Chain A
Amino acid sequence: MTEPSGDVLLEITDLSLEFRTYRGPIKALNGVSLNVRAGEIVGIVGESGCGKSVTMMAATRLLPKGAAHITGGGIRLFGSDPMKLSERELQHVRGRQVSTIFQEPMNALNPTRRIGEQIVEVIRRHQRLDNAAATSKASGLLRDMLISEPERIMQAYPFELSGGMRQRVLIAMAFSCEPRLIIADEPTTALDVTVQALILGLIKHKATSTGTAVVFISHDMAVVSQLCDRLYVLYAGRVAEAGTTASVLAAPAHPYTRALIRCLPGLAPPKQPLEQIPGTLPDLLDPPAGCLFRARCREADDRCVSVPPLAAIEPARRAACWRRIEETQAA
């Protein structure tokens, strides 16, 4: 399998970013590179604090102004640098080209207004439709989300719906303006497995049928493996490994990816100790020099005191690890 060849919608190159705090700068991103092409579903995985949300918030310029500073690298979203867009251009991009779905749908909905009004408003802000046309479009979108009585749901207030129902409403809203790219940041983490399965299925189906690209952020490898064509594994604000989902899972290359998969219960025989990753995440106030995984890595050696580049190790497969780079060169 090779990388898909659609237009590149988002390209992040060697992005470094820090948050300036009273304790000093938190180096949240330390050279992230990733790209998303039209029509593909891309997963970003990694443990808490590895920079998944910050990366995508930087790409859509949603980070708090003043606190976050880009210290290296760059972003191109639909061909232009989001940092250089005017407020109006940014509104246009956010409305028509990229939408975002977050973990807690309650925060994204106005609690005092009916669901229907909120969807219709989003539709009409960006599309020339009268109220009746927008209403019927909204109800069609809800029906696509397997909501059987959209008219009744549109009359409801957000608090009257379950978490799973609210998340479906938000997904319908995200697709309402036919964006080219949707960013879904842990959209099912707060939900049950059965509701999660439904929602993942809906996202996949809708994205495939509309050709919308999706960036799906999750800490759950199994979820990402079911949904995504390609994935990026992040560690301490850098990409550890990237490739097609099937190839990364069949033969994880980076020691961190391997460790992450190995420590899952369900792989070890029942009751036996699970594999552990020794140590903890590096302190992002003072990240160590060299490979950021070095202190926890069982394959570390002298070379690892310098930062490994994210290098191709097979077709459509990259890893930031001196060992793998060495093996590739030897082969």
Chain B
Amino acid sequence: MTEPPLLSVEDLEVRYRVTSGWFGGADVHAVNGVSFSVAEGETIGIVGESGCGKTTLGQAILGLTDISAGAIKLRGTEQDRARRTQLQIIFQDPQSSLDPRLPVWRLITEPLHIRGGYTRKQLIERATELAVSVGLRPEHVDRYPHEFSGGQRQRIAIARALAVEPALLVLDEPTSALDVSVQAQIVNLLLSLQAERKLSYVLISHDVSLVRHVADRVAVMYLGQIVEEGPTLDVLDAPRHPYTRTLLDAVPSFDRPLNSIAPRAGELPSNRTLPTGCFFRDRCPSATTGCELPQVLVPADGLRTVRCHLVTRTGDTTLPRSAPGPVFSSPNDAIA
């Protein structure tokens, strides 16, 4: 028997109960049956449009959101306590996740402080060690968050997450509030920490080129479901699900002119009442008979799974394709 994976998410459902406001009464179906696993040292990228449930999924993994159905297992068991120490999360906006009244050493060691049993001196020592490991300077630990730039604040957040020696970090848009030059620094930090510590990452991002760079596997979400999952380059260079294609076509690229006008590039349908049949049907350029039935995620080619009967039943690859290949390339070739 093989060992259970580090993290496995099984048939996860998350519904938000909405009791007041304009849409009072109808539940929000944020995550609708998501399953995947992450091995030690592995990175899975989660991509998809705004509102498709990426953040909810990340929060559910951490136990920050109640789950409505399914299971989240760490090395095969469903223990909350293990999850609290083994899993940590990094948010998009480091500003809002750092208490402005606390010095950096206190922020970094917050998880240890909560756990208890450390002296002030031990906490400061540990904070200094962690600060240095994320590229801050030892004297930084006495300062307050407002004295730091966005990139430095994200380093502080990463140091804090590392304080409890986690096995896996959920990274929810970790660089999207940062400039590209600062993004490069944070990406490099994440890659080297992973190499040193065998960390696993769940990387949630809108940025397909970032996911392409960092992730081993990628899961594409639409309306709270995974529609395609597999090795990063397979999925991003030769997408099989029509939605993955739509998403990738919309990614701005140096190589490709703007698709004149993309009428399909619409918005997510409501997740108050889920569609019957394929969730992508009303936007799908390939919709045909059979699409009115619910779709399931089944193996397509290689290690990839796809939620579309056209792809998995016939095994054909005649989906409309535009310019396969890297998300962008070329300009760099010209720079000597």
Contacts of A263 in B (CB 8 A): 180-181, 183-184
Contacts of B257 in A (CB 8 A): 226
- Asked if A5 is at the interface (CB within 8 A of a chain B CB), the reply is no
Stretch at the interface among B204-212, B292-300, B309-317: B204-212
Given contacts A198-B265, A274-B187, contact A47 B332 (CB under 8 A): no
List residues 200-230 of chain B with CB under 8 A from any CB of chain A. Answer: 206-210, 212-214
Given contacts A201-B258, A222-B253, A265-B187, contact A195 B265 (CB under 8 A): yes
Q: A194 touching B332 by the CB < 8 A rule?
A: no
How far, in Å, is B37 (CB) from chain A's closest CB? 20
- Asked if B4 is at the interface (CB within 8 A of a chain A CB), the reply is no
Partner of B254, one of A196, A222, A251: A222
List residues 161-194 of chain B with CB under 8 A from any CB of chain A. Answer: 179-181, 183-185, 187-188, 191-192
How far, in Å, is B262 (CB) from chain A's closest CB? 5
Contacts of A201 in B (CB 8 A): 258-262
Q: B267 touching A205 by the CB < 8 A rule?
A: no
List residues 274-325 of chain A with CB under 8 A from any CB of chain B. Answer: 274-277, 280
Complex Cα–Cα for A273 and B191 (A): 7
- Asked if B64 is at the interface (CB within 8 A of a chain A CB), the reply is no
- Asked if B149 is at the interface (CB within 8 A of a chain A CB), the reply is yes
How far, in Å, is A13 (CB) from chain B's closest CB? 28
- Asked if A202 is at the interface (CB within 8 A of a chain B CB), the reply is yes
List residues 309-334 of chain B with CB under 8 A from any CB of chain A. Answer: 326-332, 334
Complex Cα–Cα for A266 and B191 (A): 15
Q: B254 touching A270 by the CB < 8 A rule?
A: no
> In the complex, which residue of chain A has the Cβ closest to the Cβ of B175?
A265
Contacts of B249 in A (CB 8 A): 197
Counting chain A CB atoms within 10 Å of each CB, the highest count among B210, B214, B254, B335 belongs to B254
Given contacts A194-B250, A205-B261, contact A271 B181 (CB under 8 A): no
Given contacts A205-B260, A264-B209, A266-B328, contact A251 B334 (CB under 8 A): yes
Given contacts A197-B259, A201-B259, A265-B212, contact A47 B179 (CB under 8 A): yes
Q: B246 touching A194 by the CB < 8 A rule?
A: yes
- Asked if A258 is at the interface (CB within 8 A of a chain B CB), the reply is yes
Q: B254 touching A225 by the CB < 8 A rule?
A: yes
> In the complex, which residue of chain B has the Cβ closest to the Cβ of A200?
B258
- Asked if B266 is at the interface (CB within 8 A of a chain A CB), the reply is yes
Counting chain A CB atoms within 10 Å of each CB, the highest count among B206, B208, B332 belongs to B332
- Asked if B284 is at the interface (CB within 8 A of a chain A CB), the reply is no
Q: A276 touching B188 by the CB < 8 A rule?
A: yes
Contacts of A273 in B (CB 8 A): 188, 191-192
Q: A197 touching B250 by the CB < 8 A rule?
A: yes
Given contacts A48-B179, A262-B335, contact A196 B212 (CB under 8 A): no
Complex Cα–Cα for A275 and B332 (A): 12
Counting chain B CB atoms within 10 Å of each CB, the highest count among A201, A219, A260, A280 belongs to A201
Complex Cα–Cα for A71 and B150 (A): 30
Given contacts A193-B251, A265-B210, contact A276 B184 (CB under 8 A): yes
Given contacts A223-B252, A226-B252, A261-B331, contact A194 B326 (CB under 8 A): no
- Asked if A63 is at the interface (CB within 8 A of a chain B CB), the reply is no
Complex Cα–Cα for A194 and B52 (A): 13
Q: A267 touching B262 by the CB < 8 A rule?
A: no
Q: A262 touching B332 by the CB < 8 A rule?
A: yes
Contacts of B191 in A (CB 8 A): 271, 273
Partner of B247, one of A193, A221, A262: A193
User: Interface code A236-268, partner B: CB below 8 Å = 1, 0 otherwise?
Assistant: 000000000000011110000011111111111
Partner of A260, one of B181, B253, B329: B181
Partner of A192, one of B180, B206, B260: B206
- Asked if A95 is at the interface (CB within 8 A of a chain B CB), the reply is no
Partner of B331, one of A162, A164, A249, A265: A249
Q: B213 touching A265 by the CB < 8 A rule?
A: yes
Q: A275 touching B252 by the CB < 8 A rule?
A: no
Chain B interface residues (CB < 8 Å from chain A): 22, 49-50, 149, 179-181, 183-185, 187-188, 191-192, 206-210, 212-214, 232-233, 246-247, 249-254, 256-263, 265-267, 326-332, 334-335
Task: Give 20 new A-B contacts, CB below 8 A, not counting A197-B250, A266-B213, A273-B191.
Answer: A165-B267, A193-B250, A198-B262, A201-B258, A201-B260, A222-B254, A223-B252, A226-B258, A250-B334, A252-B334, A262-B332, A263-B183, A264-B209, A265-B212, A266-B209, A267-B329, A271-B213, A273-B188, A274-B187, A277-B184
Can you list 23 A-B pairs with a CB-CB distance of less than 8 A?
A: A146-B261, A146-B263, A192-B206, A198-B250, A198-B266, A219-B179, A222-B328, A226-B252, A250-B331, A260-B180, A264-B184, A264-B328, A265-B184, A265-B207, A265-B209, A265-B213, A266-B210, A267-B331, A268-B213, A270-B214, A276-B181, A277-B181, A280-B149
